[in-house]
Chain A
């Protein structure tokens, strides 16, 4: 399933993380980059490449929040809902996004552009309410700023 370039990177990862089974998480991150998600098909493939029982791999996949079984839209919008962000209006931000995009947490817009995620603290409390697009930190954002950002993203004018 890996093409030639990916195979080379895969091998590099195995070499760097050659001790014990330390390669599992790095390979999963890499595979998610390549395939967009760890679908059941990808999971079966990786279990074989990593020479590990699929039960153990599935345990890892279902444990960690950042691994997904289904692909996200082009942009994953992450809103933190923990305490500092809650104190500074994260609920309002989330509501606004849900209304604008017409989706709830964990869902993707019909045009495949945006996936909305709620997360716990992402270490951006000084930028509360914390907001990430594909892992890039924005914020603090007002609702108006968010609208502008979404517009830019839709028009492909924002580099993320």
Chain B
């Protein structure tokens, strides 16, 4: 017997676990779910809800599984009369003062009081006096709505704000049954970039999302995994969308975004930027068809016509004036698959030597927790693939300036798929320095309005491809929704363009393209979409740059207004 492991039995199932493992953690390894409210793997253990109590042979009474360590040779039972009585007792105590708001509560359908009542409660109310009144629907900042009556005082929110963000906006005040959770005097969750996580943490409807309020019943939601596009951290997310009730939300399907656990990247958390900024993916500014500017304005054209125009312009410029007449501005939000094809078409085939993408521009450092200063999800990917060109790239601003000076015949601009671009950058466009401007974009913008040719591409919600985060972890972004209109993945567009110019590229299919990339670029060697499926994978041979600040321990985060750290 190893001193480092202990052998225990839970409900007759034997398991060997490292010394120090709690009963609850050991049970999870066996696939046995023990009910819990106050316990959360990323927060301190407080053992206060008491619903995780189990029976241990030889112990004088029930013990809490979240705190009690598995002792060698012990026998644990999670489904005896004693355990059922304890759980039912706790459920009754919790529901005693809980308002039955289910018909109007957003958490209905994913509420742990409902869930555990159905499995472990099912008692009839014996309450013959009134429930305690408290403040309901109090907006406490950053899209969070507090309902103190629904609160079961599990204190997860208080602990998160104390030990994960270290910002201490909330507290557990009062005493006994007069206890209540609230903001501390003068505090607000506004300015806390991670406030939305308390909504995920709340097991009941005490903390709900104002942005999601009354929007859709959760049982209509489908869930799809994805990766957040808003910065170089690449937090794993889950997109919740409604595709059945088409009259809701002006037809937009995505209802909300939640973090998805990845121990190497973001732990259990995500920031509010990624959580809330997704409207552009489906709103009315989405481009659905290729556009060509003719007299009188922009005209919708079919893809093959648009691509013929593009191919013609590009080849013409290269043949007449050399590849130096093509200005190329890639977007560090492109997938690696698209970046690979961009390189194939523009750099290898068309001979572009310098692009408007320069290495080392995103900035290092972040806020000490998840948010990175580099607001692009795949800068590192583009750098490795060489999208700056064989002679190195110049800054985007510099490229615009040169375009404005009339140095180029054709400008191909890959619009960032997320952020609105500051008007100052339009300088090169406005002076019509280039004869022909091609813009690949998902949404209309001042750029698309000035373009001669607009190719509609997918935002990340419809795209299929990989990104490399700042640490060098490759993660696969799979489509959540089908394309709007006739928009296509950037990789597919580049493949079609290449095909039209007679270049041997793949058909743009994502997995096949990644395999080609992995064969040609040594950092990606050995990787495939398949082995990225769970938590992504590190670039070949790359030591990951810095440890993940996945927020399980006290991070360097100090709230907004603090200078970001550099690592």
| Chain A interface residues (CB < 8 Å from chain B) | 40, 43-44, 53-56, 58-59, 62-63
Contact in complex: A62, B175 (CB < 8 Å): yes
Contact in complex: A63, B175 (CB < 8 Å): yes
Contact in complex: A58, B185 (CB < 8 Å): yes
> Which 6 pairs between the two chains have the least Cβ-Cβ distance?
A55-B171, A53-B168, A55-B184, A62-B173, A55-B168, A54-B184
Contact in complex: B174, A63 (CB < 8 Å): yes
Contact in complex: B174, A55 (CB < 8 Å): no
CA distance A53 to B169 in the complex (A): 8
Give every chain A residue within 8 A of B175 (Cβ-Cβ): 62-63
Summarize B's interface: helix, strand, loop or mixed.
loop
Asked if B187 lies at the interface with its beta carbon under 8 angstroms from chain A, I say: yes
Give every chain A residue within 8 A of B162 (Cβ-Cβ): 53, 55
Give every chain A residue within 8 A of B171 (Cβ-Cβ): 55-56, 58-59
Give every chain B residue within 8 A of A58 (Cβ-Cβ): 171, 173, 184-185
Chain B contact-residue range equals: 10 to 19
CB nearest to B161 among chain A residues: A55
Asked if B172 lies at the interface with its beta carbon under 8 angstroms from chain A, I say: yes
Q: Contact string, B174-203, partner A, CB cutoff 8 A, digits 1/0?
A: 110000000011110000000000000000
Give every chain B residue within 8 A of A43 (Cβ-Cβ): 185
Question: Nearest Cβ distance between residue A6 and chain B, in whole angstroms?
Answer: 23
Give every chain B residue within 8 A of A59 (Cβ-Cβ): 171-173
Give every chain A residue within 8 A of B187 (Cβ-Cβ): 54-55
CA distance A59 to B159 in the complex (A): 13
Contact in complex: B186, A54 (CB < 8 Å): yes
Question: Nearest Cβ distance between residue A111 and chain B, in whole angstroms?
Answer: 30
CA distance A66 to B310 in the complex (A): 79
A53-B168, A58-B173 are known; give 18 further A-B pairs, CB within 8 A.
Answer: A40-B185, A43-B185, A44-B185, A53-B162, A54-B168, A54-B184, A54-B185, A54-B186, A55-B158, A55-B162, A55-B169, A55-B171, A55-B184, A55-B187, A56-B168, A59-B173, A62-B173, A63-B175
CA distance A44 to B185 in the complex (A): 9
Give every chain A residue within 8 A of B172 (Cβ-Cβ): 59
Contact in complex: B173, A44 (CB < 8 Å): no
CB nearest to A40 among chain B residues: B185
Contact in complex: B186, A62 (CB < 8 Å): no
Question: Nearest Cβ distance between residue B186 and chain A, in whole angstroms?
Answer: 7
CA distance A159 to B184 in the complex (A): 40
Give every chain A residue within 8 A of B174 (Cβ-Cβ): 62-63
Give every chain A residue within 8 A of B418 (Cβ-Cβ): none
Asked if B170 lies at the interface with its beta carbon under 8 angstroms from chain A, I say: yes
Question: Nearest Cβ distance between residue B183 and chain A, in whole angstroms?
Answer: 8
Contact in complex: A53, B184 (CB < 8 Å): yes
CA distance A58 to B168 in the complex (A): 11
CA distance A143 to B168 in the complex (A): 50
Give every chain B residue within 8 A of A53 (Cβ-Cβ): 162, 168, 184
CB nearest to B174 among chain A residues: A62
Question: Nearest Cβ distance between residue B175 and chain A, in whole angstroms?
Answer: 5
Of A43, A44, A58, most buried by chain B (CB within 10 Å of CB) is A58
24 contacts between A and B (CB under 8 A): A40-B185, A44-B185, A44-B186, A53-B162, A53-B184, A54-B168, A54-B184, A54-B187, A55-B162, A55-B168, A55-B169, A55-B170, A55-B171, A56-B171, A58-B171, A58-B173, A58-B185, A59-B171, A59-B172, A62-B173, A62-B174, A62-B175, A63-B174, A63-B175
CB nearest to A59 among chain B residues: B171
CB nearest to A43 among chain B residues: B185
Question: Nearest Cβ distance between residue B76 and chain A, in whole angstroms?
Answer: 34
CA distance A40 to B185 in the complex (A): 8
CB nearest to B176 among chain A residues: A63
Give every chain B residue within 8 A of A55 (Cβ-Cβ): 158, 162, 168-171, 184, 187
Of A44, A54, A55, A62, most buried by chain B (CB within 10 Å of CB) is A55
CB nearest to B173 among chain A residues: A62
Give residues of chain B (68-125) contacting chain A, Cβ–Cβ below 8 Å. none
Question: Nearest Cβ distance between residue B387 and chain A, in whole angstroms?
Answer: 46
CA distance A83 to B170 in the complex (A): 37
Give every chain A residue within 8 A of B184 (Cβ-Cβ): 53-55, 58
CB nearest to B184 among chain A residues: A55
CA distance A96 to B170 in the complex (A): 42
CA distance A53 to B186 in the complex (A): 12
Give every chain A residue within 8 A of B170 (Cβ-Cβ): 55
Question: Nearest Cβ distance between residue B158 and chain A, in whole angstroms?
Answer: 8
CA distance A145 to B47 in the complex (A): 50
Question: Nearest Cβ distance between residue B151 and chain A, in whole angstroms?
Answer: 15
Question: Nearest Cβ distance between residue A42 and chain B, in whole angstroms?
Answer: 12
CA distance A112 to B8 in the complex (A): 66
Question: Nearest Cβ distance between residue B141 and chain A, in whole angstroms?
Answer: 14
Question: Nearest Cβ distance between residue A98 and chain B, in whole angstroms?
Answer: 23
Give every chain A residue within 8 A of B168 (Cβ-Cβ): 53-56
CB nearest to B171 among chain A residues: A55
CA distance A56 to B173 in the complex (A): 9
Of B174, B185, B187, most buried by chain A (CB within 10 Å of CB) is B185
CA distance A70 to B96 in the complex (A): 32
Question: Nearest Cβ distance between residue A129 and chain B, in whole angstroms?
Answer: 24
CA distance A80 to B190 in the complex (A): 45
CA distance A62 to B175 in the complex (A): 7
Question: Nearest Cβ distance between residue A131 and chain B, in whole angstroms?
Answer: 24
CA distance A59 to B172 in the complex (A): 6
Question: Nearest Cβ distance between residue B542 and chain A, in whole angstroms?
Answer: 40
Give every chain A residue within 8 A of B186 (Cβ-Cβ): 44, 54
Give residues of chain B (235-281) contacting chain A, Cβ–Cβ below 8 Å. none
Give every chain A residue within 8 A of B158 (Cβ-Cβ): 55
Question: Nearest Cβ distance between residue A52 and chain B, in whole angstroms?
Answer: 9
CA distance A43 to B168 in the complex (A): 16
Question: Nearest Cβ distance between residue B97 and chain A, in whole angstroms?
Answer: 18
CA distance A150 to B171 in the complex (A): 41
CA distance A62 to B182 in the complex (A): 12
CA distance A55 to B168 in the complex (A): 6
